[in-house]
C-alpha cells in the first residue's frame, strides 16, 4: 500500500486518466479504493486471494506455488507486517474461504519478512477445513501451529523450524531441502517423499510410504509406521521406534534403524 501511495504522490493525475485500456481502468479503480478512509487492506487481500484460489486445482502442487507467489507479491504491495498476518489468518480469511491452499498463501506472505528470532503462531481451528501448505519454502524463524488436518506441511523447506501440535495429514516434508519439521501427534502417508535434507520427527504414528525416493536427511517416527518404509530410498536415515510393515531391503540404499532391546539397530 505504501508503494501505491508513493506512486500517487509522484503522479497525482493517475486517477484522472481517461483511459480505455481495461487493465488501466482496473488499476485506477483499485487505487481509488485504497485511498478511501474506510479501506481495509486485509479484507481486500482476502477477497483477491479467494478469487484466485477458486480458479486453481487445489490438489496440484503448482497451485500452491502460484498462491505462494501471490502472497509474496501482496506483502510488498500492501506493506504487510507480522501483526497483519496474524489478523489475516485468524480473523479475516475464515470469512472468505474454508482452508485449501491457505498455508501456501500465508507462507508467501511471511516469506520475506520473517526473521531468525521470530516465532509465528497459527491456530488451525480458526478454519473449518484442512489447511494445506504451511511452511512452504520456509526460510528462517519458527512456525508453531495448533490443530489437526495440516497437509503438505514444510514442502521444499530450506531452513528454520515448523512445529505442529496436533495430527498431520499426508505429504509432510515433500522435497525437503533443509530445516526441521516436528509433528507432536500422528501423521498420515507420503512423509519425506523425495526429501534431500533436513529432518522430520513424528512423535506419534505414521502411515504408509515413509521416505520414498529420499536422497538425504533424517526421518524419525517414535510410534508405529505402515508399509513401504524407505521404498526406492537412495540416501538418508529413517528411524522407527515402534512396529512397521515389511521392508524390501533390496530396494533400500540408505540407512533404516529399528529400536531393539533399548537401542537402535540398523536393518
* Model pLDDT, residue 10: 55
Task: Using alpha carbons only, give the angle 51, 52, 58 rounded to the nearest 5 degrees.
Answer: 115
Tell me the backbone φ, ψ of residue 8, rounded to 5 degrees: -70, -30
Q: According to the model, what pLDDT value does residue 138 have? A: 98
Average pLDDT rounded to a whole number, residues 133-159: 97
Count helices and strands in the chain by DSSP H and E runs = 6, 11
pLDDT of res. 96: 87
Residue 61 confidence (pLDDT)? 84
**What's the mean pLDDT in 70-89?**
93
Q: What are phi and psi of 163, to 5 degrees?
A: -125, 130
* pTM of this structure: 0.84
The yes-or-no verdict on residue 9 having pLDDT over 60 is: no
Q: What are phi and psi of 13, to 5 degrees?
A: -85, 0
SS3 string, 40-97, reads CHHHHHHHHHHHHHCCCCCCCHHHHHHHHHHHHHHHHHHCCCHHHHHHHHHHHHHHCC
Q: Examine the pLDDT at 132 and tell me if it is beyond 60.
A: yes
Q: What is the pLDDT of residue 89?
A: 95
Please tell me the number of Cα atoms within 13 Å of 139 on its side-chain side. 12
Edge-to-edge order in the sheet of strand 178-183: 119-123, 142-146, 158-165, 178-183, 199-202, 215-221, 235-240, 255-260, 263-266
* Grid cell digits, residue 136: 512452504
Higher pLDDT, 182 or 32: 182
* 221 and 241 Cβ atoms separated by less than 8 Å: yes
DSSP 227: S
Most confident residue range from 10-14, 25-29, 105-109, 254-258: 105-109
pLDDT tens figures, 194-244: 999 999 999 999 999 999 999 999 999 999 999 999 999 999 999 999 999
Please give the Cα distance from 245 to 263 (Å, whole number): 19
**CB-count exposure of residue 4 (10 Å: 0-12, 13-18, 19+):** middle
17 or 110, which is more confident: 110
What pLDDT does residue 46 have? 92
pLDDT category at 32 given cuts 50, 70, 90 is low
Amino acid at each position: 500500500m505504501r508503494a501505491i501511495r508513493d506512486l500517487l504522490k509522484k503522479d497525482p493525475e493517475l486517477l484522472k486518466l481517461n483511459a480505455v485500456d481495461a487493465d488501466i481502468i482496473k488499476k485506477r479503480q483499485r487505487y481509488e479504493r485504497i485511498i478511501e478512509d474506510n479501506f481495509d487492506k486485509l479484507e481486500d487481500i482476502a477477497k483477491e486471494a479467494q478469487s484466485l484460489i477458486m480458479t486453481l486445482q487445489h490438489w496440484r502442487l503448482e497451485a500452491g506455488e502460484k498462491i505462494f507467489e501471490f502472497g509474496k507479491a501482496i506483502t510488498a504491495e500492501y506493506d504487510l507486517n507480522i501483526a497483519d498476518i496474524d489478523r489475516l489468518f485468524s480473523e479475516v480469511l475464515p470469512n472468505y474461504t474454508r482452508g485449501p491452499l491457505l498455508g501456501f498463501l500465508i507462507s508467501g506472505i511471511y516469506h520475506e519478512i520473517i526473521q531468525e528470532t521470530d516465532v509465528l503462531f497459527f491456530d488451525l481451528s480458526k478454519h473449518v477445513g484442512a489447511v494445506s501448505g504451511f511452511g512452504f519454502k520456509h526460510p528462517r524463524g519458527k512456525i508453531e501451529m495448533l490443530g489437526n488436518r495440516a497437509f503438505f506441511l514444510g514442502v521444499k523447506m530450506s531452513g528454520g523450524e515448523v512445529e505442529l501440535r496436533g495430527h498431520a495429514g499426508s505429504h509432510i516434508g515433500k522435497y525437503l531441502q533443509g530445516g526441521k519439521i516436528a509433528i507432536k501427534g500422528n501423521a498420515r502417508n507420503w512423509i519425506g517423499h523425495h526429501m534431500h535434507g533436513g529432518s522430520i520427527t513424528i512423535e506419534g504414528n505414521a502411515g504408509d510410504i515413509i521416505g520414498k525416493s529420499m536422497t538425504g536427511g533424517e526421518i524419525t517416527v517414535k510410534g508405529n509406521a505402515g508399509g513401504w518404509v524407505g521404498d526406492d530410498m537412495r540416501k538418508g536415515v529413517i528411524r522407527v521406534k515402534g512396529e512397521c510393515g515389511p521392508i524390501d531391503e533390496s530396494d533400500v540404499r540408505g540407512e533404516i534403524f529399528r529400536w531393539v532391546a533399548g537401542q537402535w539397530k540398523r536393518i
